[in-house]
């Protein structure tokens, strides 16, 4: 029986567990023996590789995180540890691997493939949605919905107290989570690295809004900018508006996966496994304009991710201080 393994690398996302479930079920349908590698590349090196069975994945579809855990591995960057990892797979007869992770993880896998001959397929998975070559990464929809619920709740208390809330989202260097959240929750201010804005230019407009009865402000700020304190103080000193900061933090990474992330997990795994069975050896399955397509690691990892131009334009139009509605 041919053997196939799966691992999760980097930040976990809601959608990994549905992916594991589909992986096990579809492997058996294809006559393959599925294996779990626990703790990402760390587990590959330390030999935490176990056969996976139906009962391992029952009841996990609704759970965030990943049952087989994830890790960021410094050791996997070293050839000597990659050789140990390859040996651990080979002694079990595992020749195919699916990796749920980001472009850094895929780059490591490519080296591993060239050294060991083990075939792999990457599935873009990060709440940051910052992988070049794909419009969507597994987990981003759940993260956006968690942010949406948090912002809606914060608006309730903000308006009850006449306060400004400065809300920081994750996303590392990418403003995707902040921008989409700000647009879809009707925020008054959105600060992301992709749309440089001098927020002090909002002063006149916001003062006029306050005179006209506005009783709260929602500002959504990407963690990349690290300026929540500064913005919050600006509301207090320049507008005389009491302000609070909310760092959403890791709550954005967990939670019950949305229907969309669950379905996409099933589709990604199906494409990845089919690709490996058709003889693909080192690719990433991407999603563009409603279609799945395989890309090389270079296509994905050589260029930095850029936010979709249409989204950036929408953000510019919505949040430019010059267009602020008095
Ligand atoms: O890449 C996912 C992510 O959640 C980023 O948005 C964030 O900057 C980072 O991981 C946090 O990393 P850690 O979980 O190691 O604190």
- Whether residue 303 is contained in a domain is answered as no
pLDDT in tens, 185-217: 999 999 999 999 999 999 999 999 999 999 999
Ligand 1: residues within 6 Å at CB?
A: 11, 126-128, 170-172, 223, 253
Query: Same domain, yes or no, for 191 and 58?
Result: no
**Which atom in ligand 1 lies closest to the alpha carbon of residue 128?**
6
- Whether residue 302 is contained in a domain is answered as no
- Whether residue 123 is contained in a domain is answered as yes
pLDDT number for residue 302: 87
Domain harbouring 54, CATH code: 3.40.50.450
Query: Same domain, yes or no, for 177 and 109?
Result: no
| pTM of the model as a whole | 0.97
pLDDT number for residue 264: 98
- Whether residue 115 is contained in a domain is answered as yes
Which residue has the least CA distance to atom 6 on ligand 1? 171
Query: Same domain, yes or no, for 133 and 54?
Result: yes
pLDDT number for residue 326: 83
Q: Which residue from 294, 301, 275 is spatially nearest to 104, judged by alpha carbons?
A: 301
**Which atom in ligand 1 lies closest to the alpha carbon of residue 252?**
4
Number of structural domains in the chain: 2
Which residue has the least CA distance to atom 13 on ligand 1? 11
Query: Same domain, yes or no, for 204 and 318?
Result: yes
Query: Same domain, yes or no, for 242 and 277?
Result: no
- Whether residue 128 is contained in a domain is answered as yes
- Which residues are designated catalytic? 128
Residue 33: which residues within 8 A CB-CB, separation 6 or more? 1, 2, 3, 4, 27, 51
Query: Same domain, yes or no, for 222 and 315?
Result: yes
Out of 8, 9, 10, 11, mutate this one to test ligand 1's pocket (max ligand atoms within 8 Å of CB): namely 11
Which residue has the least CA distance to atom 14 on ligand 1? 11
28: CA distance to ligand 1 center in Å?
A: 34
CA distance 283 to 120: 7
Query: Same domain, yes or no, for 130 and 149?
Result: no
Q: Which residues of the chain have pLDDT under 50?
A: none
Query: Same domain, yes or no, for 192 and 233?
Result: yes
- Look up residue 58 and give its DSSP letter: T
CA distance 274 to 134: 19
Query: Same domain, yes or no, for 9 and 131?
Result: yes
Domain harbouring 201, CATH code: 3.40.50.460
CA distance 48 to 38: 6
- Whether residue 278 is contained in a domain is answered as yes
Residue 145: domain span: 141-253+309-323
Query: Same domain, yes or no, for 87 and 109?
Result: yes
pLDDT number for residue 141: 98
Query: Can you give the length of the chain in residues?
Result: 326
Query: Same domain, yes or no, for 52 and 135?
Result: yes
What does the H/E/C string look like for 178-201?
HHHHHHHCCCCEEEECCECCCHHH
* Burial bucket for residue 264 (CB in 10 Å: 0-12, 13-18, 19+): buried
């Amino acid at each position: 029986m041919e053997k196939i393994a799966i691992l999760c690398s980097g930040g976990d996302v809601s959608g990994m567990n549905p992916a594991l479930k589909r992986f096990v079920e579809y492997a058996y349908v294809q006559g393959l023996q599925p294996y779990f590698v626990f703790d990402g590349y760390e587990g590959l090196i330390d030999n935490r590789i176990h056969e996976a069975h139906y009962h391992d994945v029952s009841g996990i579809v609704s759970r965030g995180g990943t049952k087989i855990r994830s890790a960021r591995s410094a050791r996997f960057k070293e050839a000597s540890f990659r050789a140990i990892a390859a040996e651990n797979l080979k002694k079990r007869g595992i020749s195919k691997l699916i990796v749920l992770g980001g472009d850094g993880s895929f780059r490591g896998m490519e080296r591993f493939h060239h050294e060991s001959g083990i075939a792999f397929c990457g599935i873009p998975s990060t709440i940051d949605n910052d992988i070049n070559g794909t419009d969507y990464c597994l987990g981003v929809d759940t993260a956006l919905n968690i942010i949406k619920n948090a912002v809606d709740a914060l608006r309730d208390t903000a308006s009850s107290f006449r306060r400004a809330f400065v809300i920081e989202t994750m996303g590392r260097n990418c403003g995707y989570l902040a921008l989409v959240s700000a647009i879809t929750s009707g925020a008054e201010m959105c600060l992301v690295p992709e749309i440089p804005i001098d927020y002090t230019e909002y002063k006149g407009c916001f003062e006029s809004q306050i005179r006209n009865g506005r009783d709260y402000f929602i500002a959504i700020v990407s963690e990349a900018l690290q300026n929540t304190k500064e913005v919050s103080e600006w509301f207090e000193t320049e507008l005389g508006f009491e302000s609070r900061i909310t760092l959403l933090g890791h709550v954005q990474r967990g939670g019950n996966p949305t229907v969309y992330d669950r379905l996409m997990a099933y589709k990604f795994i199906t494409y990845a496994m089919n690709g490996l069975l058709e003889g693909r050896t080192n690719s990433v399955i991407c999603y563009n304009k409603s279609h799945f397509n395989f890309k090389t690691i270079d296509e994905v990892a050589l260029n930095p991710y850029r936010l979709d131009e249409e989204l950036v334009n929408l953000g510019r139009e919505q949040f430019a201080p010059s267009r602020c509605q008095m």
